[in-house]
């Protein structure tokens, strides 16, 4: 390449939102209901007369029209009404409140800070992989096994564009390998930015200090460390891969033991691919590290306690059953947990059109208005045996929608072309994945409510800058908060229509 030649700009796109398979804007269930109602009206007209049929048809038509009106997130009035009713029922039953530890007044209380809600059935176990490295397995209630890993990516500063595009291509190959791997049912990537307590800087400087150095030099170093302590930002990145044990074993315990052995054999190759695609070291989390991550998420002020204990050489023996919040309360649009107040969003639409590799930079970078920000991308591979049917149905639905329209629009033509292109790529060996994005902003201290509103505005603006259409997870703040943690928790039915 000559000095004046510009590198080729690589663009990405083609993400498709799943469309309903029904008639027009109706879902398949709504379409069937319309046909049933139409048949019932015909019978009423034949037996009772036309006037009765018209009287019964009026409210049905009104309901049908209301169900077709959707907002920019793809939600109708009935969808929003269902969210409110579910939350009101949870608040009436007080299931949105969580008290444990010393605040738990139940007769069977163990006085431990157990995890709330959907995380209550999780368990941790430690094992060794083929290279002798210790790793943690998160056991889910539905039988899935998740392996969490910490990454140390180098970032994009002072990196050529060609190198960045190569890393993106390697990440795409990693996702394709995961989709084709037997037993892999999901993966997540979590990037968290939070204040640095300064203890790690003190430890690093103390370990490298020369005791025989000049007094003036030691005093200058101490002053610099004291001035810099607590002003930095800590950026942490985790990747989780979830497996489902094979069903060939006779008992559930045998299935898990065999699955853990297979995971131990796969991890060396998987971590090597992560090193290549992430351009940084990969660290397998042990039980204590994983427990600390969860505890700090529910009680942000405990991070300083962990840092101080590490500086003093102390080992904090904490089990996962003790890592939950003492008190938590899920509101309509926020989540109060111990020393933190959080708000979570979900992606309702991926970027439209073509974007470059740095499209997510705005939403991932550090923001001075957001104290703790956690962005999690959830992937769910489509079974390779089902992928052809999935893409072919998308082509059929897009084509049928265009044919049934009185005036086909350019957007319909582009949807058909994109669906056909996706089918061609899948036939050529590409993998098909569902994905979603969960974002969480957490604030602490006094005036947390006002600071949360400021952080919310910053997160919403950053998401818009990354071409993401997001929506507050109304009525499901506690569950969405848990999905944002590096525990491999994924929705049972992943959608891109504004909810999980």
Of the pLDDT bands very low, low, confident and very high (cuts 50, 70, 90), residue 239 is very high
Interval 137-194: pLDDT, tens:
999 888 889 999 999 887 777 778 888 888 888 888 888 888 888 888 889 999 999 8
**Is the distance from CB of 436 to CB of 500 less than 8 angstroms?**
yes
Give dist(CA 129, CA 266) in Å, integer.
8
Task: Identify the sign of the CA torsion 74, 80, 86, 87.
Answer: positive
How far are the Cα atoms of 6, 151, 161, 223, 382 from residue 158, in angstroms, in the given order? 17, 19, 9, 30, 36
Percent of the chain at pLDDT exceeding 70:
88
Report the C-alpha gap between 466 and 190 in whole angstroms: 16
User: Residues 9-57: pLDDT tens digits?
Assistant: 788 887 877 776 666 677 777 778 888 888 888 888 888 888 888 888 8
Buried b (16+ CB within 10 A) or exposed e, 287-302: bbebbbbbbbbbbbeb
**pLDDT at position 499:** 31
Other C-beta atoms closer than 10 Å to the C-beta of 119 total 24
pLDDT tens figures, 388-405: 888 888 888 888 878 877
Does residue 250 surpass a pLDDT of 60?
A: no
Lowest mean pLDDT among 117-121, 267-271, 476-480: 117-121
Residue that the structure tokens 């879902």 belong to:
27
The rounded distance, in Å, linking the Cα atoms of 376 and 27 is 29
More confident residue, 113 or 375: 375
* Distance from C-alpha of 349 to C-alpha of 471, rounded to nearest angstrom: 9
**Of 328, 325, 279, 361, whose CA–CA distance to 477 is shortest?**
328
Tens digits of residue pLDDT in 55-98:
888 888 888 888 888 888 888 888 888 889 999 998 899 888 88
Domain boundaries, the chain: 19-69, 70-196+232-384+431-483
- DSSP secondary structure string for all residues of 413-479: HHHHHHHHHHHHHHHTT---EEEEEEEEEEEESTTHHHHHHHHHHHHHHHHHHTT-EEEE-TT-HHH
Q: What is the pLDDT of residue 481?
A: 94
pLDDT band at 229 (very low <50, low <70, confident <90, very high): low
Round to whole Å and give the CA distance between 295 and 325.
8
Helix axes 161-180, 252-278, angle to 10 degrees: 170
pLDDT of residue 308: 80
**pLDDT confidence band for 459 (50 / 70 / 90):** very high
Stretch 301-326: mean pLDDT: 82
Whole-angstrom Cα distance, residue 145 to residue 165?
32
Are 147 and 352 in contact by the 8 Å Cβ rule? The answer is no
How far CA 175 is from CA of 149, 168, 181, 379, in Å, comes to 16, 11, 10, 9
pLDDT band, residue 334 (cuts 50/70/90): very high
Least confident interval from 101-105, 266-270, 279-283, 439-443: 101-105
Q: Do 112 and 101 form a contact (C-beta atoms < 8 A)?
A: yes
What pLDDT, on a 0 to 100 scale, did the predictor assign at position 192?
Answer: 93
Q: How confident is the model at residue 270 (pLDDT cuts 50, 70, 90)?
A: confident
Predicted pLDDT at 457: 94
């Amino acid at each position: 390449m000559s000095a004046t030649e510009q590198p080729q700009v690589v663009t990405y796109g083609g993400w498709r939102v799943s469309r309903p398979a029904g008639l027009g804007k109706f879902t398949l269930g709504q379409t069937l209901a319309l046909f049933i109602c139409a048949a019932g009206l015909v019978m009423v007209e034949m037996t009772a007369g036309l006037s009765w049929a018209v009287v019964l048809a009026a409210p049905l038509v009104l309901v049908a029209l209301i169900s077709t009106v959707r907002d920019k997130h793809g939600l109708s009035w009935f969808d929003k009404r269902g969210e409110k009713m579910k939350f009101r029922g949870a608040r009436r039953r007080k299931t949105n409140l969580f008290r444990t530890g010393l605040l738990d007044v139940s007769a069977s209380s163990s006085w431990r800070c157990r995890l709330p809600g959907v995380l209550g059935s999780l368990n941790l176990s430690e094992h060794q992989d083929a290279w002798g490295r210790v790793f943690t397995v998160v056991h889910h209630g539905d039988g899935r096994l998740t392996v969490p890993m910490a990454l140390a990516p180098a970032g994009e500063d002072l990196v050529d564009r060609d190198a960045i595009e190569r890393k993106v291509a390697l990440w795409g190959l990693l996702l394709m390998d995961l989709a084709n791997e037997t037993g892999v049912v999901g993966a997540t990537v979590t990037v968290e930015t939070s204040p640095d307590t300064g203890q790690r800087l003190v430890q690093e400087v103390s370990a490298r200090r020369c005791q025989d150095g000049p007094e003036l030099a030691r005093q200058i170093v101490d002053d610099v460390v004291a001035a810099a302590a607590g002003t930095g930002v800590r950026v942490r990145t985790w990747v989780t891969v979830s497996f489902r044990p094979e069903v060939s074993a006779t008992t559930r315990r045998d299935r898990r033991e065999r699955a853990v052995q297979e995971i131990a054999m796969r991890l060396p190759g998987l971590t090597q691919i992560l090193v290549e695609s992430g351009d940084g070291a990969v660290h397998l989390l042990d039980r204590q590290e994983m427990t600390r991550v969860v505890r700090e998420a529910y009680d942000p002020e405990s991070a300083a306690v962990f840092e101080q204990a590490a500086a003093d050489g102390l080992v904090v023996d904490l089990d996962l059953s003790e890592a939950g919040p003492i008190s938590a309360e899920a509101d309509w649009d926020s989540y109060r947990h111990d020393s933190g107040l959080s708000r979570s969003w979900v992606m309702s639409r991926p970027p439209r059109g073509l974007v470059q590799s740095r499209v997510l930079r705005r939403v991932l970078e550090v923001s001075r208005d957001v104290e703790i920000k956690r962005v999690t991308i959830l992937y769910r591979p489509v079974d390779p045996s089902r992928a052809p049917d999935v893409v072919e149905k998308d082509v059929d639905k897009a084509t049928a929608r265009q044919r049934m329209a009185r005036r086909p629009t350019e957007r319909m033509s582009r949807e058909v072309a994109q669906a056909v292109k996706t089918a061609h790529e899948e036939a050529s060996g590409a993998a098909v994945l569902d994905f979603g994005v969960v974002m969480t902003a957490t604030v602490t201290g006094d005036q947390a409510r006002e600071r949360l509103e400021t952080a919310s505005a910053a997160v919403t603006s950053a998401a818009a800058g990354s071409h993401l259409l997001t929506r507050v997870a109304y009525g499901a703040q506690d569950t969405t908060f848990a999905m944002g943690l590096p525990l491999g928790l994924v929705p049972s039915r992943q959608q891109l229509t504004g909810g999980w």
